[in-house]
Amino acid sequence: MKLPTPHWGWASLPFLLLVWIALASRFPSYVLPQPWLVAAEALRWIEDGSLWQQFKASALEELAGFTCAVLVAVLLGTAAGMSRHFRDFIAPLNSLFMAIPPIAWAPLILIVFGFGFFSIVLVIFIAAVFPMAVTIQEGVLGIRDGEVRAARTLGANRRQLLCYVYLPASLPFLTAALRIGFSQGWRALVAAEMIGASQGIGWMVSMGGQIGNASQVLLGIAIIGLLAWLMESLVFRRIERHYQSWRAA
pLDDT tens sequence for the chain (249 residues): 455 555 666 777 788 889 888 988 888 888 889 989 989 999 999 988 888 888 898 889 999 999 999 999 989 988 888 788 998 898 888 888 888 887 888 888 888 887 788 889 999 999 999 999 998 888 888 766 666 666 666 666 666 666 666 676 677 778 888 888 888 888 888 888 888 777 888 888 888 888 888 999 999 889 888 888 888 777 777 776 766 655 544
pLDDT value at position 187?
87
Instruction: List the domain boundaries for the chain.
Output: 49-248
222 phi, psi to nearest 5 deg: -65, -40
pLDDT value at position 149?
64
Separation of alpha carbons 164 and 181, rounded Å: 25
The hierarchical CATH code for the domain 49-248 is 1.10.3720.10
CB–CB of 206/22 below 8 Å? no
Find the DSSP H helices in the chain: 12-24, 35-47, 50-82, 84-99, 102-113, 117-141, 145-153, 158-161, 167-196, 201-211, 214-231, 237-248
SS3 call for 114? coil
pTM summary value: 0.81
pLDDT value at position 248?
47
